[in-house]
Each structure stands twice: as structure tokens, then as C-alpha cells.
Amino acid sequence: MENYLEVRWHGRAQQGIVTAAKMLGEACLMAGKFVQAFPEFGPERMGAPVRAYNRVSDEPVRLHSQVQNPRYVLIADPTLISVVPVTEGTPDNAVFIVNTAKTPAEMRTELGIKGGGAKVYTIDASKISLETIGRAMPNTPLLGALTKVTGIIGLTALIENFKENYAKKFAQKVIEGNVAAMNRGASEVKGE
Amino acid sequence: MATNTAMKKQTGLTGNSAIAIAMKQINPDVCPAYPITPSTAIIEDFSSYVADGDVDTELITVESEHSAMSACIGAAAAGARVMTATSSQGLALMWEMLYIASGMRLPIVITNVNRALSAPINIHCDHSDSMGARDAGWVQLYSETVQEAYDNLIMAVRIAENEKVLLPVMVCLDGFITSHAIENITLLDKAEVQSFIGEYKPERSLLDIDHPSTFGAMTLQDAYMTFKHQQSEAMTRAKDVVSSVSAEFAKKFGRNYGLIDAYRLEDAEIAIVILNSAAGTTKVVVDELRKQGKKAGMLRLRLFRPLPHKEIADALKNCKAVAVLDRADSMNDFGGPLFNEVRSALYDGETRPKVISRIYGLGGRDYKIKDATDVFDELSAAVKTGKTDTLTKYITL
């Protein structure tokens, strides 16, 4: 089958996961990859569970179905774990990154992951975003954590792309806050 | 020039953003708009371009899609280059005006971001909306990717305005799957787009007061049918114009599009016929089956109106079993609209494959690798036994 890296993002509407998937896709594209970044909307209301996906490849991406078997799963809101099947379809070597103050061992239990092949990482992305951006927006700390624990994209490439693409959209203060959030996400993510 | 374009840096855009950029580069005179999910972002982006002075377009915010198409018709009859975008109920509400646009031979270009029709209400992708307009006299182009949607829209202007055609053109792309997905795309420069589409000089227009002419006049038994005959012949001619415009686009910009996209069909025994984004997923499955030694292929129609029936028949003539996958149901107990036309196109062939109808993906239901694989398995069994299970069936249920 085609050789893709596949990512699934779980969050609630307004937590910025669609933007996170977009930023990841754009950064990978700038690094020379073929990408997809797409949301899966359900009911369009604040707080509703939302998914977003990435595919990253060295070849043009032809597949247009939803991501079924993501190796990388990012969970922006741990209260979704009991509501949405966040581990569904994941392979034995899956990587989970969860926004929580809890330890990876605690999250492993909550996620119900048995096999030793899968890895669980945690990052208190809500706290970081409150301190850097001034509101709970866990997407950019999660992206920072992703650069640390996966080889999908480097932290520098992520930040450079973000600055370039969003300089016109956001105030300088917002850009700086998000860059700080990405840096802290990368340095504060915890593994088992 | 082709080398230059190939060397250009790619960017990542959603289908909606790419369509809005194409509209910015085309710089139409008038854009009447009433946004609707999932095509909303097209008008959202484009209205920013208008507000920022990036285009000279007069954006008319109307009170319904019926009014949007009515304003398109009025502006086009006045001699303007006119574009808009819609989806689903929006296209449905335009219905009576769609026929007036084509009957008055007005080269309006619209993007239809495919979405299911109510009821039950649903915002996700299927092709019920544009299939409902298939007899409205509009040229219809379907797009597999963000890149193709962008390219199709630029070509649509040339096709619509060609003096041998003078018909409205609808460019279709899949709601959410393409409209909201970021994919790699290579954009043209505005100057390249402008030089490709050229200036629009209608032969007749309401505002050309030196040559007064009548538009949309009453015609009775003596004239109505003559108008329709001419319209029908224009639609026939549109096929060659789509070919020549696409060939010129390929020569200038290096991206090659045919009327149909025949994928590994040369020696195929089994094939899926499909539209839009699901073709990509089907190609992935075709490659997998080929690795297993199975002679599978895929046919995607880029042009649905006019129907490239000779090309379809030629592409499928060596197949033994074919499944036509419709993302819309005709509710006729006899398969989807694409099925009926493809099957009919094969009727005059010396050898006719078995042809079955499968309805998939309504209201955004996902079409996965397994779904395509199952259809190919069914076709393989039909080749072996010489029999098909059922003529029409819903899949992805």
C-alpha cells in the first residue's frame, strides 16, 4: 500500500485542532513533502467533538478516504477519551500525545493500551497555552510536542513556517506567544 | 514555459481557497453571491479580495441563490464576465434559472461544491445536487483534486465563452473532501491566467446600444424548438472545445487533462467508473490489485456534460465486467445517473461488458480502500461465473 505517515487529531470545536493539522501540513509541504490536512466536522457547534487528519508522503497523496489507521494520535482534550474511540484503528506501534497534567503511565491506563509497542506521551498543553498565549488553546504546544517525539517535522521548520504563514494574520504578540508555546511543548513533553 | 511552471514552488491550499484564488486571477466583472456550506469559504475569501481592491469585481450580495443566478443572468446578458459558487440546496434553488442561463446562451461559470440534498438535512458530500442539474444545459466538469478544481475553473471561462459553445459551465468538486482539505497545488501567475482566458468580448449584449438585440424573448411553436436545437448542437460542439482548451492549457502550463481519465485500462478486465475525489482512492486499489496480478482499471469522467460517450465506450471496450459507482441515486429502481449513461454508451459496442450499478458515499459516507476492493472482488467473480449478483445495490452502508 502507499507509504504515508498518517496523523489523527481529536479535539473539541474551538480548540484549534483543524488549524493544528493545517499548520503541520503546511510545514511538511514547505519541507518538500506531499500532504493532506483535512477536518471531519460533525455538528457545527462549540465544544462538539471534532477530528482532523494529516497524510504526509514523498509521493502525491491520492487516497481521499478518512484516515483509518493513524500511527500518530493527538488528543487535545482528555475528556474525549471516554466519549470518542480515540484508539480505534491504531497500529501496535502507535504514538499517543495527550494534553493532560497526568503522567504517561496514568494516561496509558485511561486509554486502555495494553501492548508495549505503543508509546504514550503527555504534555500539559492547556497550562502552557494559558501562560504563553493567554487562553486555553492546546494546539500549538501539542505541535511542539509532536516535533519532539516523532520524526514528521523538526521544531525549527515548524516555527519558521508558522512565522512565515501567519505573520499577516496575527499580531506579533500572538505569534510570539504561539512560538513560545511550541518551544515549551517540545521541551516539556513527557514519555514513559 | 512548462519547465518554468514545473519549477515553481508548490503551496498548500484547500479546494475552496484555490477556487477563490482562481476567481481573483480571473477577475470577473460581476459576482452575485449567497454563500452556503461547504462552498462558503469561496465567497468569504473572494469578498476579502473585493474589499481589498485585489479585483475589479462588483460583488452583489443577494437574498437567495435564485436571486444569485438571476443576477448572474442579468449581468451576463449585459455583457459581463460572471461567476459565482454554490452547493446543494443553493443549486437546487437556482433550478429554474439554470435553464434560463443556458437557454439564453450566457457563458456564466459557477463552482458547485458537491453536497447532499435534504431531507434528511446533511452538509456533506454527494453528487445529488449537480446530478439534479444534469439536463439543465450546463457543461459540467468534475475535479479529482484541489489542483484540478483550480485548473478546471480557469479552463471553464474559455470553454463557456468560446463562440462555438456560449453555454454556462459548472465546475464540481467534492464538499469537505476537496473543499476543506489542504493539498499540494501549483498556482499560476495572475498574468498567466489573464493571458490564457483573454478579454471577454461578447458578440451581442444588452449594453451594446449600437447593436440593439433582444434576449429571452417569447418564442412559440415556430421558433422555440429551433433555439433548443441550436443549444443542443452547441453542447455537442462543447466536447471538442473542452479538448482543445485542455490541450492548450497542457501546452502552456504542463498539466494534462483529458475528457476522461483512463487509469490502467489498456488491458483491464475489470473496472470501476467513478467521479471526483473517490477516483484517487480507487487508483490506489487498482495499483494494489495489479501487484497481485489482477487486471483492474479505473475510468474517471472529467467531463460529464456533454457526455464523452465515444471515449467511454472506447476506454471500456475490452473490459469483461464494469461497476459504475454513483454518489447519487436516481430513485428509479434502475441504478444511478452515471451508471445509466455509461451503460448506454456501451450498448453499440461489439463486445459488451457486464455493467453493474453501485451507489456509495451518500451524505459524506466514507469510501474506503476496502469498499473499492470489495467491488473489484465482485467484478472478478462476475468474470469467472459470467453472472452478476445484483444489477443495482447500495454499498458503504
Q: What are phi and psi of B266, to 5 degrees?
A: -50, -50
Asked if the model's pLDDT at residue A44 lies above 80, the reply is no
Chain B, 98 to 127: residues with Cβ < 8 Å from chain A are 123
For chain B, 397 residues long, the average pLDDT of each consecutive 10-residue run is 49 97 98 98 98 98 98 98 98 98 98 98 97 98 98 98 98 98 97 98 95 94 98 98 98 97 98 98 98 98 98 97 98 98 96 96 98 98 94 97
pLDDT at A115 (0 to 100): 82
Domain layout of chain B by residue ranges: 7-253, 260-394
B328's enclosing H/E stretch is none
Quote the CA–CA distance of B158 and B153 in Å, as a whole number: 9
Assigned C-alpha cell, B184: 499540494
Residues 142-201 of B with CB under 8 A from A: 174, 176-178, 180-184
Q: What DSSP string runs through B7-70? A: TSPPEEE-HHHHHHHHHHHH--SEEEE---TTSHHHHHHHHHHHHTTSS--EEEE-SSHHHHHH
A45: confidence class by pLDDT, cuts 50, 70, 90: confident
DSSP string, B147-174: HHHHHHHHHHHHHHH-TTT---EEEEEE
Gyration radius of chain A's alpha carbons: 15
H-helix or E-strand containing A172? helix A172-188
- Note the pLDDT of residue B369: 97
Q: What is the rounded distance in angstroms from the CA atom of residue B38 to the CA atom of residue B45? A: 13
SS3 B200: coil
Comparing CB atoms, the residue among A29, A39, A66 nearest residue B12 is: A29
- Given CB atoms, is A2 within the 8 Å cutoff of chain B? yes
- Looking at the structure of chain A, the number of domains it has is 1
Beta strand B139-142 with B182-185 is unpaired
Of B180, B278, B368, the CB nearest to A38: B180
Residue A5, SS3 per DSSP? strand
Residue with cell 433555439: B227
Q: What is the secondary structure of B367-383 as a DSSP string?
A: --HHHHHHHHHHHHHHH
Neighbours of B374 (CB within 10 A): 15
What is the distance between the alpha carbons of residues B49 and B20, in angstroms, rounded to a whole number?
9
- How far is the alpha carbon of B234 from chain A, nearest alpha carbon, in Å? 35
CB atoms within 10 A of CB A173: 10
List, in sequence order, the alpha helices (H) in chain B.
Answer: 2-6, 15-26, 40-51, 65-77, 88-93, 95-103, 128-132, 146-161, 190-197, 224-253, 278-291, 309-316, 337-345, 369-385
Which range marks the domain in which residue A154 is found? 5-191
- Just give the CATH number of B7-253: 3.40.50.970
Q: Which residue among A22, A60, A62 sits closest to B182, beta carbon to beta carbon?
A: A22
Q: Do domains B7-253 and B260-394 have the same CATH topology?
A: yes
Chain B nearest C-alpha distance from A29 (Å): 7
Q: What pLDDT was estimated at residue B8? A: 55
Do A62 and B288 make contact, defined as CB atoms within 8 angstroms? Answer: no
Identify from A1, A26, A65, A162 which residue to disrupt to test chain B contact, counting B C-beta atoms within 10 A and taking the largest count.
A65
Question: Under an 8 A CB cutoff, do A1 and B284 touch?
Answer: yes
Structure-block grid coordinates of residue B142? 468534475
Count Cβ atoms within 10 A of the Cβ of residue A47 and give its class: 0-12 exposed, 13-18 middle, 19 or more buried. Answer: exposed
Mutate to test the interface with A, among B183, B285, B289 (most CBs of A within 10 A): B183
Taking the CA atoms of B62, B133, B297 and B380 in sequence, report the sign of the dihedral they define. positive
Q: Specify the CATH number for the domain of residue A135.
A: 3.40.920.10
Alpha-carbon gap: A1 to the closest alpha carbon of chain B (Å) = 7
B260-394 sits in which CATH class?
alpha beta
DSSP A67: P
User: A62 touching B, CB under 8 A?
Assistant: yes
Query: Is residue A103 a contact partner of residue A190, using CB atoms and an 8 Å limit?
Result: yes
CA pair distance B308, B139, nearest whole angstrom: 12
**A97: which strand partners?**
A74, A121
User: How far away is chain A from the Cα of B370, in angstroms, using its nearest Cα?
Assistant: 10
Cα(A144)–Cα(A183) distance, integer angstroms: 6
* Contact list, A38 vs chain B (CB under 8 Å): 176-177, 180-182
Which among A29, A65, A66 has the least Cβ separation from residue B10? Answer: A29
Q: How far is CA B351 from the centre of its chain?
A: 29
pTM of this structure = 0.96
* Residue scoring higher pLDDT (B351 or A70): A70
Closest approach of B362 to chain A, Cα-based (Å): 14
